[in-house]
Copies of this chain bind each other. A is one copy, B any other.
Amino acid sequence: MTVKQIKVFAPASIANLGPGFDVFGLALNELGDILNIEKSSKKEVKISLSGLSNNIPIDPTKNSAGVVLLNMIKREKLDYGFKVEIKKGIPPGKGLGSSGASAAAAAFACKELLDLQIDNKDLVEIAAQGEAAVAGSAHADNVSPSLFGGFVIVCENYDFIRFDAPEVGLVIVMPDLFYENKTKLARSLLPEKVDLKDAVKNIGYASKMVASISLGDPVLFGRSICDNLIEPHRAKMIPHFKEVKKAALDAGAYGCSIAGGGPSLFAVGNDLLSIGKAMQESFGEISSEIYISKPNNRGAHKL
């Protein structure tokens, strides 16, 4: 046993980004989880929490990082376990890939700590299965940007295409709303059938968004944030959604939509503080926090 301990950071992320439901993910700067993982002689996973850890379970079978570590013990047939300290920088339940970031951090940490030869696709799968234990289904749209940074297109079977994201200014407004089983709830609001014409519009905007990434064009990126498929349904779980979105656009945002499963909204623009404050005001009686960010092109890394 050479290295016994590792400390890693994995950033928050926004999934969907408007038109790319279950397809797009973007890593955020600074906001992130820090995990300190130590090998322990007992073949078990022990979790301790600090930071924004309200409502996060320490039972490793119910914690996204814990599940990753338990799976890793099985996968690598380890005869030892792990002690994990999770310092939550990402508020859970806000649509910012909080459980995904913890899972990504745990997967990345294991790879480094055990010096494993795991390809990127497998690493995404390991992290996604950790997130699934918490979120209900294994999607890679949060864990892959948390692992590798940048803008990610999720393909089938945990395959993905990653691009460096352009210097886009984002403001995220996180309302003080809490939902039990939020990810499941957010999915339950979606219809099975949608209008073909709305699907075609989303295909157009999603294509435009990938083009904006390739061209490094933040304005085009912002103007591609348009979603006719998911947003109208998930908006129902966010009081004042219409007013908040309108306030963002009126304040000069190029685009605005729901971050992942919500209830946070994100907007892209220039004068991010003004946009954020206008959004915050439109939430009326619901208090909220603002977070201003750029994309993160680094992903999970050692500290």
Which A residues are closer than 8 A to B by beta carbons?
19-24, 153-156, 161, 163, 190-196, 198-200, 202-204, 206-211, 213-215, 220, 229
Interface contact A199-B24, CB-CB below 8 Å: no
Question: Which residue from B153, B155, B194, B208 sits with its C-beta under 8 Å from A196?
Answer: B194
**22 A–B contacts from the bound complex (CB under 8 Å):** A19-B203, A20-B203, A20-B207, A21-B200, A21-B203, A22-B200, A22-B204, A23-B200, A23-B204, A24-B207, A153-B204, A153-B207, A155-B208, A156-B204, A161-B208, A163-B211, A193-B194, A193-B196, A194-B194, A199-B202, A203-B203, A211-B214
* Minimum-distance CB pairs A-B, first 3: A214-B214, A199-B199, A210-B210
Residues on the B chain within 8 Å of A198, using CB? 199
Residues on the B chain within 8 Å of A156, using CB? 204
Given A198-B199, A199-B229, 14 additional A-B pairs, CB 8 A: A19-B203, A21-B203, A22-B200, A153-B208, A154-B204, A155-B204, A161-B220, A163-B214, A191-B196, A199-B203, A203-B203, A206-B207, A207-B209, A213-B214
Residues on the B chain within 8 Å of A220, using CB? 161
CA distance A209 to B210 in the complex (A): 9
Interface contact A211-B208, CB-CB below 8 Å: no
Interface contact A192-B203, CB-CB below 8 Å: no
Interface contact A214-B210, CB-CB below 8 Å: yes
CA distance A79 to B183 in the complex (A): 65
CA distance A199 to B205 in the complex (A): 13
Residues on the B chain within 8 Å of A153, using CB? 204, 207-208, 211
Given contacts A191-B196, A199-B202, A214-B214, contact A207 B163 (CB under 8 A): no
CA distance A19 to B203 in the complex (A): 8
In the complex, how many angstroms separate the beta carbon of A42 from the nearest chain B beta carbon?
42
Question: Which residue from B191, B192, B206 sits with its C-beta under 8 Å from A206?
Answer: B206
Question: Which residue from B161, B190, B203, B211 sits with its C-beta under 8 Å from A161?
Answer: B211
In the complex, how many angstroms separate the beta carbon of A285 from the nearest chain B beta carbon?
33
Residues on the B chain within 8 Å of A22, using CB? 200, 204
Interface contact B192-A196, CB-CB below 8 Å: yes
Return the chain B residue nearest A202 by Cβ.
B203
CA distance A205 to B191 in the complex (A): 21
CA distance A24 to B208 in the complex (A): 11
Return the chain B residue nearest A217 by Cβ.
B161
In the complex, how many angstroms separate the beta carbon of A140 from the nearest chain B beta carbon?
11
Residues on the B chain within 8 Å of A199, using CB? 194, 198-199, 202-203, 229
